[in-house]
Each structure stands twice: as C-alpha cells, then as structure tokens.
Amino acid sequence: MIDKDDWSARAPSLSPVTTESPSSFLGSIFKDWRHLIYLPIDKTIVATSGRGMDRIAVIGSGNWGSAAARLAASNARRLPDFQDEVRMWVHEEKLDTGEQLSVVMNNTKENPKYLPNVKLGPNVVADPNLESAVKDATMLVFIIPNEFIHGTCKQLKGKIRPNAKGISLIKGMEFTDDGPSLISKKITDLLEIDCSVLMGANIANEVAAEKFSEATIGYKDDKQTADKWVKVFGAPYFRVTSIQDLEGVELCGTLKNIVATAAGLVDGLGMGNNTKAAIMRIGLKEMIKLSKLLFPSVQDATFIESCGVADLIASCLGGRNRKVAEAFAKHGGKKSFSELEGELLKGQKLKGVVTAAEVFSFLKAKKWEESFPLFSTVHSIATGQIPPSAIVEYAERTPKEIEGGPELEELSSLLST
C-alpha cells in the first residue's frame, strides 16, 4: 500500500510538487506553473495492490489524433491509473519516401505526415491493425472522420472488452430529415459501451506545442468515467473540465464548423474584423437556437465553455474550414471546396461544407430555412447557387420565428438580436 505521505503518491493530481511554506526551497522553485513536474511512479506497486490499470487505445492518427495521443501517452506514463503503452490505430499509407507511415512513426515516434517534428512519446505504438490496436483496451479514443465511424465500429463489434469506455473527439455528425445522428450515440449503439465526447478550442498544432488551451468533456450520466477522461487528457497546458450535457457539447463541436466557413468567406472577401465578429455572433445564436430545438435539455452554460464560444472563436480565426473558405472566396467561387480541400489540407477532411449541406436538408424538411439565414446561406454559397459576396446580404436577414418553440425565449437573456 502506498504511504499517503509518499511524494510519488501525489503525482496523480494535476498539482505541482510544492510545499506550503513560502520560505521553502522547493516552493520558491516551483511557484511558477511552467515549472510543474511529476515524480515517477512505481507502477508495480499499483499492479500488485489490487487496483486495475486502464489501457488506452487511440483510434485515428491524423493531426488532432496524434496530438491527443501525445497527451494521453504523457499521462499514461505519469499516472498509476493507466498502463504505460498507448496504441494508436494508423490507417496505413505510403509516404513520398516509399516508407509505410506506421513504420516511420514507430521508428521516429513522430507522425511525419500529419504532425511533423513533434515527438509523440516513447510509449506510443502505431498499429495498422485495428483489432490489434484495441486489444485489451478499456479506454477507447475515437478520432477519425465521422463518415468512417460506422464501418470502424462494425469492425470492432465483438472485438473490444465488455467493460470498455469510449470518448469521441470527432467534430462532426450526420443529419437526416429526422434530425442529427450523434457520433457518441452511434458508438454507444453499435458497440454497446458508454461514450463521452471531448470538444473545445483545440487547434492540434498549438496543443502539441504545449500552448495553453482548454477542452470540455460532455457526458451523459457516468461522472466517474468523465473524471477518468479528464485524467487521460488533462495537463498544465491543457485544462479539461467536464459537464453533464453530452448533446450540447457535441452539437457545439459540429455546428461551429458552418460558422467558421462563413468567417472564412468574410476573410476571403476582405470585409474586415467588424463584419467577421458580426457573422460569429449571428452564427453562435443559430448554434444555440438549433441545439435547443433538437435537444431541449441542452444547457445555456455549455455555450460559454471551451466547447462553445472558445471553439467557435478559434475555428473562425485559424481552423481548416476558415482556411479553405477564404481560398474559395478569393477564387470567386470558381474553384470548388473539394478541389481546395485536396490542395490545402493534405489529406485532412473538411467538415463545414458537409455539415452545412446536411443541416440545410434537415432545415428544409422542417421548413426552417428562413429561421437560420446564416446556416442556409453558407450552404447556398458552397453549392454555387449564390456568390461568396452574399454572405453578409443574406446572413443579416431577420430570422423567421418558429412556432411552438417556447424554449427559445430564454435566448434573449444570452444574446441580443
């Protein structure tokens, strides 16, 4: 049993090793948060004490997947709750050098294609075999393009531990005429496991460079598992909180991509920061309105978490959807989004245009297009029905009221018209 006064036992928390006395030598050294350190833990003590250690597997190896694996691997090595090794499923591909991506990743401990020049950690193992990557894992991190989640889960059916827990870092979902199909729910339904979500202002390169940022974990009922996910990803430079609003957190991560696309159009047209700020405000209001129509349980507080306004701001300033939309506007809409995606994203996927199309189809089925002028306008521009310059002309229209939506009245206290 670990003595409660043993310094190694203090390492599981996110607190630095310090002393309360201001005159203490250690206190003077470590009072700056940038000097946070963690002493190593003898995991053999934990393994023989009757406490089981969770095993983490990351399903996906793109830009954000690699950054997330780096966070998880660092905490897996440091904390007694987890086995050291973090396996990451890699969709195998051949690099320009002729080498296999997984081989290079294991040799260099870097992802040269999607997160170059960043060490992922000595305990990260790239595995091109999905079943092997998740073997014995109790904590599954899903971070692949949302269009592949169904097929991936079908492959995993019956291949994972019955006590496994999942978390989706996927910012996207499918909309049908009946409404949204949440990625977390799809994972839960297909694999029969609890699945939380993590969303936030998380531009992968900045997180990997250990620049301070935040994220929000949304969970349904299992607070204990949510707290465990906070341990998986939390770091002094990556502040993670949890909130019991699974649907709200996940919708924020999806709908903000449409607004970021609108912001990129504004940038490409050179309209300036005032216009961009106005588009962001209108977009945030439509995000809140649609979220509450779809799930009345969505909380107002969710939109001021990192998954809400912070992610919206970051995506409108520096995300991939903004980047491609800017190029689209600069080309006067003569180059398609799919062409620009191939040219600019180097294998990464664009979400905003796809989500805008699915959301518009849903709005049209409900006859709600005029109630969401910004969302509808982004789709019309992306499909070439109207020019990029229409982003302001159409988006500034007064939204049509939706009958039978009393839950929207409280929005007036959050955002003015």
Distance from C-alpha of 188 to C-alpha of 211, rounded to nearest angstrom: 33
Do the annotations mark residue 117 as ligand-binding? no
Amino acid at 359: V
Among the options 109, 113, 165, 256, which is catalytic? 256
Distance from C-alpha of 32 to C-alpha of 404, rounded to nearest angstrom: 53
Alpha helix ranges (H) inside 87-203: 101-108, 130-134, 149-156, 183-191
Do the annotations mark residue 342 as ligand-binding? no
Of the CA atoms within 13 Å of residue 74, those in its CB half-sphere come to 20
CA-nearest of 190, 202, 90 to 149 is 190
Do the annotations mark residue 321 as ligand-binding? yes
CA-nearest of 195, 201, 202 to 63 is 202
Distance from C-alpha of 358 to C-alpha of 180, rounded to nearest angstrom: 9
Dihedrals phi, psi of 199, to nearest 5 degrees: -135, 160
Do the annotations mark residue 60 as ligand-binding? yes
Q: 43 an active-site residue?
A: no
Do the annotations mark residue 364 as ligand-binding? no
Q: Where are the beta strands (DSSP E) in 112-237?
A: 124-127, 139-142, 165-168, 174-176, 179-181, 195-199, 213-218
Do the annotations mark residue 65 as ligand-binding? yes
Do the annotations mark residue 204 as ligand-binding? yes
Do the annotations mark residue 202 as ligand-binding? no
Distance from C-alpha of 74 to C-alpha of 25, rounded to nearest angstrom: 27
Q: Where are the beta strands (DSSP E) in 14-113?
A: 54-59, 82-89
Do the annotations mark residue 63 as ligand-binding? yes
Do the annotations mark residue 171 as ligand-binding? yes
Do the annotations mark residue 349 as ligand-binding? yes
Distance from C-alpha of 69 to C-alpha of 139, rounded to nearest angstrom: 12
Do the annotations mark residue 281 as ligand-binding? no
Q: Hey, CA dihedral for 270, 276, 282, 283, is it positive or negative?
A: positive
Name residues whose C-beta falls within 8 Å of residue 77's C-beta, 6 or more positions apart in sequence: 84, 121, 123
Question: Which residues are annotated binding-site positions?
Answer: 60-65, 148, 171, 204, 320-321, 349
Residue list, annotated binding site for NAD(+): 60-65, 148, 204, 320, 349
> Residues at the annotated binding site for substrate?
171, 320-321
Catalytic residues: 256
